[in-house]
Amino acid sequence: MPNRSHFNAAHRMMNFIRKEGVTHSSDRAFVLPEKTHHAVIVSDAAELLRSVRDASIQLVVCDPPYNLDMASWDRFNIYSNWASSWLDEVPRVLKDTGSVAIFGGFQFQNERGGDLLDIISYLRKNGRLRLINVIVWHYRNGMSAHRFFANRHEEIVWFAKSARYTFNLDEVRVPYDEETKKQYLRDPRLKPETIEKGKNPTNVWEIPRLNGNSAERVGHPTQKPLEVVRRLVKALSCPGDIVMDFFAGSGSTTRVCVEEGRHSIGSDADPMWPDFLSRQLAQLGALALTRYEILRGPTISSHPVFQGIFQEEPVLPQAATPAVHMAETR
Ligand SMILES: C[S@@+](CC[C@H](N)C(=O)[O-])C[C@H]1O[C@@H](n2cnc3c(N)ncnc32)[C@H](O)[C@@H]1O
């Protein structure tokens, strides 16, 4: 029986690329744009997505609420009905090379539903996306437990729009430890330049969760570590691409995009989120100020980077709070 795993297809493609001498996306040298542009929107996720044109976004970073009662935004009667309102739009807005990375866990479900298994199952039944990896985000810090094994992982599922998805492995390789490196360098079968590049980070990522007193913290209850978001952004998009996060929360994705030379569309229903983002950007210091521009309101759809991204009559609600002038908050 033929093995139809997409991993074999990927291996076949890599062999073909090598034979033909074609440059694979992982061999490209990246040049960061001098300045990037970042749309800051306050909106319901599904409503905003409906205003985005087909095939216009390279990467969606998605960290939704899971009905855990973490905050007022984390309560739903029928979770799957709500989730489908934005999940249905994601495949449509992704470019052919694009991906969506969805954060979550497998053990959060309560009687009203809602965990990553629900989302995976929904996407596999209803979507046109292909599952590439389930990434286990493992951390050593967490809550203690007495009635079950204390939880030390969450998951991130990576779905791609098509077989042409972007994966910049060289951008996210991790260095070998000195001992292993020395050993490999002595092995004549291995190329020194390949060893220098480092190793594939695998689909198990050990990255600490943010502690309450972490310097990265800007006050959002479910803020994700920059290192996790950075690995996704660098691997699944290229400099100058557009990355979208419609559950922006503390603005971690926008901040990573500023640092890594991607344009971004950040949005959250919470009118406080631009304030969290201001705190994130303040941590970058004054030097970064010339490298990015924050756009709000009608200036977004008329900006050259975002022109054509929104439908003719874009639904771009203004922030409910007075506009935050990012440059002034540093
Ligand atoms: C898990 S948090 C995201 C945290 C974020 N990844 C970070 O690192 O800070 C989920 C976010 O979804 C937002 N949210 C909840 N319901 C929403 C909706 N219908 N539309 C847009 N945002 C929503 C909440 O305000 C919250 O900030």
Choice between 107 and 273, residue whose per-residue pLDDT is larger: 273
Would the CB of 73 count as within 6 Å of ligand 1?
Answer: yes
- The answer to whether residue 20 is domain-embedded is no
CA of 64 to the centre of ligand 1 (A): 6
Q: In this structure, which residue's CA is closest to atom 17 in ligand 1? A: 269
- The answer to whether residue 237 is domain-embedded is yes
CA of 189 to the centre of ligand 1 (A): 49
SS3 of residue 259 by DSSP? helix
CA of 75 to the centre of ligand 1 (A): 12
CA of 163 to the centre of ligand 1 (A): 29
pTM score, whole prediction: 0.88
- The answer to whether residue 25 is domain-embedded is no
Domain with 185, as residue range(s), is 30-329
Q: What is the pLDDT of residue 120?
A: 93
Q: What digits encode the pLDDT tens for the residues 73-125?
A: 677 777 888 899 999 999 999 999 999 999 998 876 666 667 899 899 999 99
- The answer to whether residue 238 is domain-embedded is yes
- The answer to whether residue 292 is domain-embedded is yes
Give the long-range contacts of residues 120-125, CB within 8 A, separation 24 or more: 120/157, 122/80, 122/83, 122/84, 122/87, 123/87, 123/159
Q: What is the pLDDT of residue 81?
A: 86
In total, the chain counts a number of residues equal to 330
- The answer to whether residue 1 is domain-embedded is no
Q: What digits encode the pLDDT tens for the residues 209-267?
A: 999 999 999 999 999 999 999 999 999 999 999 999 999 999 999 999 999 999 999 99
- To test the pocket of ligand 1, the residue of 66, 247, 253 to mutate (highest count of ligand atoms within 8 Å of its CB) is 247
DSSP 288-317: GGGGEEEE-TTHHHHSTTTTTTB-SS---P
DSSP state of 89: T
Specify which residues 244 forms β-bridges with. Answer: 60, 265
Choice between 234 and 27, residue whose per-residue pLDDT is larger: 234
Q: What is the pLDDT of residue 307?
A: 92
SS3 of residue 165 by DSSP? coil
- The answer to whether residue 12 is domain-embedded is no
DSSP state of 141: -
- The answer to whether residue 11 is domain-embedded is no
Q: What is the pLDDT of residue 69?
A: 73
Residue labelled with tokens 């800051």: 40
- To test the pocket of ligand 1, the residue of 268, 272, 276, 316 to mutate (highest count of ligand atoms within 8 Å of its CB) is 268
CA of 62 to the centre of ligand 1 (A): 9
Choice between 199 and 24, residue whose per-residue pLDDT is larger: 199
Choice between 30 and 257, residue whose per-residue pLDDT is larger: 257
Average pLDDT of the chain to the nearest whole number: 87
Judge contact between 152 and 113, C-beta under 8 A: no
Q: What are the angstrom distances between the C-alpha of 168 and each of 56, 147, 287?
A: 20, 42, 27
CATH number of the structural domain spanning residue 194: 3.40.50.150
Q: What is the pLDDT of residue 20?
A: 61
Distance, CA of 172 to CA of 232 (rounded, Å): 9
The mean per-residue pLDDT over the stretch 291-319 comes to: 82
Choice between 69 and 12, residue whose per-residue pLDDT is larger: 69
Q: What is the pLDDT of residue 12?
A: 61
Would the CB of 231 count as within 6 Å of ligand 1?
Answer: no
pLDDT cut 70: percent of the chain above it:
83
* Phi, psi angle pair for 216, to nearest 5°: -70, -25
- Domains of the chain: total: 1
Q: What is the pLDDT of residue 72?
A: 73
Would the CB of 249 count as within 6 Å of ligand 1?
Answer: yes
